[in-house]
Chain A
Amino acid sequence: MRRYDAILPYLLLAPGLFLAAMIILMPLWQLSVLSFSDVNRFGVPRGLTGWDNYARIFADPDFYRAFWRTVVWTVGIVGGTILVAFPVALILNEDFAGRGVARVIVMLPWAMSLTMMAIVWRWALSGESGMLNSALIWAGVIERNVQWLAHGQTAFPMQIMIGILVSVPFTVTIFLGGLASIPDDLYEAARLESASAWQCFAELTWPLMRPFVNIAVVLNTIYVFNSFPIIWVTTQGGPANSTDILVTYLYRLGFRIGRMGEAAALSLLMFLFLLALTAVYVALATRKGRA
């Protein structure tokens, strides 16, 4: 009986570990092999070539453009999301009439799948018959129809805006959890010492919320860096690659123009980057757990 108890946890873990390993480790192995192989257009490897695929990625100007656009994409969405979500969470933490309704509305973008959200925006942003143009003309913001998705200069900021919109609900939820964890007594005490509202924020709310902001930044960075549907559905990285980020560049390399070896190499590089981010997250989460 005792020996049985000792192996029991491993037996309970086995099916889950096996399935996860199949779906995670096997593809990783496949990616490693492909990334060091000469792969033809039909995805068939024809012998090892060392670091050629990696070298070709780093020699491709499209890679650098996609890389920098990914930086703008990630920083823009994560930064924008925090800037919007923090004050919104502060407001939603106040007691006001209709707060329940406002909370539900703020959460709505999260309830729609990214694909559907992107399809709706592709239609709403259409130049001739899009409802964004008609709404903006009605409101007097613009005078003529804007062809939002026809140029990278207008399409990409719109895609970032969509990214912010869908990231805000999750981030607000994290912040509301953080705000709820701050004891009311602290504010009572501050008020007794006649601290101003600004002092309360700067001395109490912000320092106590810092761990939650850190976690929101890291988690959002991971999600946004990987986010594929918004750009693929609205522009597929076009026109003329002007909205390409690394994940859409990767997908096109692999499945549209048949450069699987290079796509595999890029996948592995991105995997390593995500691993590093995950390590940052673990460090932040455990530090907070101990505090």
Chain B
Amino acid sequence: MSGPGARRLRKSALCWLALSPLLVLCLFPYAVMFITAIKPASEVLRPTWWPSEPAWHNIVDMWNATGFGVALFNSVKVAVLSTAVALAVSVPFAYALDRFRFTGEGAVRQFLLVTQMLSPIVLVIGLFRLIVWLGLVDTTWSLVAIYGAFNIAFTVWMLQSYFATIPRELEEAAWIEGASRARAVAQVFLPLALPAMTVTAIFGFINAWNEFVIALTILRSDSSHTLPIRIFSLVAGRYTVEWHHVMSAALVATVPVAIVFSWLQRYLVRGMSVGAVK
């Protein structure tokens, strides 16, 4: 065996071999989740890998036994509304940062950067007191506001890096034709920015969907739980855990989001690295 074909084959095999320990580790949690989710209840505690037969009805049972529907509704509500809040304030924000020079711009950028680096965990006690003071404990509305606010920095960076690629000449041409600034933005600029806004919105949705510590602190009753809190409460502080239900719930909560995330992941670094990394 020789020639470029054989060499490429050998190189490919070597690459896969070198990556294999990491690849196994990456797939392992998904495998555990999936296999446990479809194990019959009687086999869950037996440390075998494969179920004797797949118990697809676990997912239906889980739905009724865990109050999954309510938590799903709460999660969707919080994720959609907080993303809408973040977008509504971030689109004008990013437009101003990209299209205007103004005093205090540097300060605004630095404030934004600090809010992005600030994890909710160091603020959680202050946030909790704020929410108590507003009388919003145990409501998902408080999460809408908090997630919306924490998403602003990321949303602005993502949008601004994209807005910078939309030529000013397009808007200026509309002005020359007599359109007002607002009209030019609405009819020329925003339609072009729509793809960036969609991608950014999806990441905002996923962030809110996944958030843990604030929801853990503010939500008390089952009826207000979001999915991560609902599923965590099926595990924490219980003597018997119905692991096949827990893993079914985790599977249903994770897989749709994971597919969308994997598909869009390459756009993500733009917003996370604050324009420093291409």
A interface residue numbers (CB < 8 A to B): 6, 8-10, 12-13, 15-17, 19-20, 22-24, 26-31, 34, 43, 84, 87-88, 91-92, 94, 96-99, 102, 104-117, 119-124, 128-135, 138, 145, 165, 168-170, 173-174, 177-178, 180-181, 212, 215, 219, 222-223, 226, 228-229, 232-233, 236, 247, 250-251, 254-255, 260, 263-264, 267, 270-271, 274-275, 277-278, 281-282, 284-285, 288-289
How distant is A138 from chain B, measured CB to nearest CB, in Å? 8
A226 touches B49 (CB 8 A): no
Select which of B32, B253, B272 is within 8 A of A219 by beta carbon: B272
B164 at the interface (CB under 8 A from A): no
B90 touches A16 (CB 8 A): yes
The 8 residue pairs across chains A and B that have the minimum distance between CB atoms? A27-B126, A113-B210, A226-B119, A23-B149, A285-B276, A111-B258, A12-B96, A16-B89
B186 at the interface (CB under 8 A from A): no
Q: List chain A residues, Cβ under 8 A from B235.
A: 119, 122, 233
How distant is A264 from chain B, measured CB to nearest CB, in Å? 5
Which residue of chain B has its CB nearest to the CB of A268? B122
Q: List chain A residues, Cβ under 8 A from B223.
A: none
In angstroms, Cα B122 to Cα A102, docked, is: 36
Q: List chain A residues, Cβ under 8 A from B65.
A: none
Which residue of chain B has its CB nearest to the CB of A282? B113
A133 touches B47 (CB 8 A): yes
How distant is B260 from chain A, measured CB to nearest CB, in Å? 9
Interchain pairs with CB closer than 8 A, number: 289
A131 touches B231 (CB 8 A): no
Q: List chain B residues, Cβ under 8 A from A281.
A: 113, 117
B262 touches A111 (CB 8 A): yes
How distant is A53 from chain B, measured CB to nearest CB, in Å? 12
B1-27 toward A: CB 8 Å interface, digit per residue (1/0)?
Answer: 000000011011001101100110111
A111 touches B257 (CB 8 A): yes
